[in-house]
């Protein structure tokens, strides 16, 4: 981190899992944070939990928005910039998956739902914040991708794999084009993480499995590390996997 100045941070998918854990890390460091999510009750619960962190009063806000729509993404950007004044870090964490994952099960509507929640949301949110990043000639965007964005494992499902591969391509192209404007871009590729997205697995996940895999706080620590580097340094891509896995 450059100095001890409080930063403005936006975390999408901040109502649970990795997003909630990341927001907590930034708040504990003294930053100002806006979280977003589609679910009102879950987002409200997250806001209450984050507000309970010592000294966080006046530094945490929540915006309910469907980021797979342009109106939702633009509403988030408008509210976040109003609250924070300047956004230094945007964590694009929003995502989803389905139980119907095989090609044989995949309908057109469900395909579009997965691409909308994982790819369109990242694109639209980025586009909504880009003018402010360009104007300030500085900023960091962190995309929470997945190992499914590097390796097409059938476990993730065809639509999810397609969305995450495309997200990696988007992030790479964005980084190259916007480097001259001072924008830094990092993609983080977590392996299995114990988050609510496990509820969408075709088969139930055991408690033993949940304990053995990555926890949201593990990925949040990686996000915070990337965000704490000086502006002269960049990690374009970072893979984090459960230590029990063999990554090949």
pLDDT, one tens digit per residue, over 47-74 is 999 999 988 889 999 999 999 999 999 9
Given a cut of 90, is residue 176 above it in pLDDT?
A: yes
Q: What is the pLDDT of residue 4?
A: 56
Q: Which domain holds residue 191?
A: 8-240
Q: What is the pLDDT of residue 187?
A: 98
185 vs 56, higher pLDDT: 185
> If you average pLDDT over residues 22-48, what whole number do you get?
96
Quote the tokens at residue 213.
Answer: 């895999």
Q: What is the pLDDT of residue 54?
A: 87
Whole-Å CA distances, 245 to 125, 160, 175, 200 = 32, 21, 30, 21
* DSSP category for residue 189: E
* DSSP category for residue 214: B
Residue 168 located in a structural domain = yes
> If you average pLDDT over residues 30-37, what whole number do you get?
97
Q: What is the pLDDT of residue 154?
A: 85
Given a cut of 80, is residue 122 above it in pLDDT?
A: yes
199 vs 175, higher pLDDT: 175
Residue 247 located in a structural domain = no
Indicate the number of domains in the chain: 1
Given a cut of 90, is residue 95 above it in pLDDT?
A: yes
What mean pLDDT is reported for the chain?
95
Residue 1's contacts (CB-CB under 8 Å, 6 or more residues apart) are 7, 29, 227, 228, 229, 230
Q: What is the pLDDT of residue 208?
A: 95
**Region of residue 13 (phi > 0: left; psi between -120 and 50: alpha; otherwise: beta):** left
Residue 161 located in a structural domain = yes
Residue 63: CATH number of its domain: 3.40.50.720
Residue 3 located in a structural domain = no
Q: What is the pLDDT of residue 3?
A: 40
What is the reported pTM? 0.95
Quote the tokens at residue 107.
Answer: 């309908």
Q: What is the pLDDT of residue 93?
A: 98
Residue 121's contacts (CB-CB under 8 Å, 6 or more residues apart) are 12, 67, 68, 73, 92, 94, 95
Residue 96 located in a structural domain = yes
Given a cut of 90, is residue 133 above it in pLDDT?
A: yes
Report the distance separating Cα 227 and Cα 35, nearest Å: 16
By annotation, the residues acting in catalysis are 160
Residue 246 located in a structural domain = no
> If you average pLDDT over residues 151-171, what whole number do you get?
94
Query: Burial of 201 by CB count in 10 Å (0-12 exposed, 13-18 middle, 19+ buried)?
Result: middle
Report the distance separating Cα 157 and Cα 153, nearest Å: 7
Q: What is the pLDDT of residue 1?
A: 42
Helix axes 108-115, 158-178, angle to 10 degrees: 40
């Amino acid at each position: 981190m450059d100095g001890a100045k409080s930063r403005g941070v936006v975390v999408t998918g901040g109502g649970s899992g990795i997003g909630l854990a990341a927001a907590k890390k930034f708040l504990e460091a003294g930053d100002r944070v806006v979280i977003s999510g589609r679910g009102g009750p879950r987002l409200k619960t997250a806001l209450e939990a984050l507000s309970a962190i010592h000294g966080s009063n006046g530094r945490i806000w929540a915006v309910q928005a469907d980021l797979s729509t342009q109106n939702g993404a633009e509403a988030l950007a408008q509210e976040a910039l109003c609250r924070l004044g300047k956004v230094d870090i945007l964590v694009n964490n929003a995502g989803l998956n389905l139980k119907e994952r095989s090609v044989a099960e995949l309908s057109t509507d469900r395909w579009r739902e997965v691409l909308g929640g994982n790819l369109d949301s990242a694109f639209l949110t980025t586009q909504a914040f880009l003018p402010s990043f360009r104007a300030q000639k500085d900023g960091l965007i962190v995309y929470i991708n997945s190992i499914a964005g590097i390796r097409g494992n059938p476990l993730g499902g065809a639509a999810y794999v397609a969305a995450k591969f495309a997200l990696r391509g988007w992030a790479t192209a964005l980084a190259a084009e916007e480097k001259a404007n001072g924008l830094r871009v990092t993609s983080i590729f977590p392996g299995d993480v114990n988050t609510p997205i496990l509820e969408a697995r075709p088969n139930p996940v055991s408690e033993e499995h949940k304990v053995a895999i990555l926890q949201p706080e593990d990925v949040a620590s990686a996000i915070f590390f990337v965000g704490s580097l000086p502006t002269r340094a960049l990690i374009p891509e970072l893979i984090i996997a459960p230590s029990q896995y063999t990554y090949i």
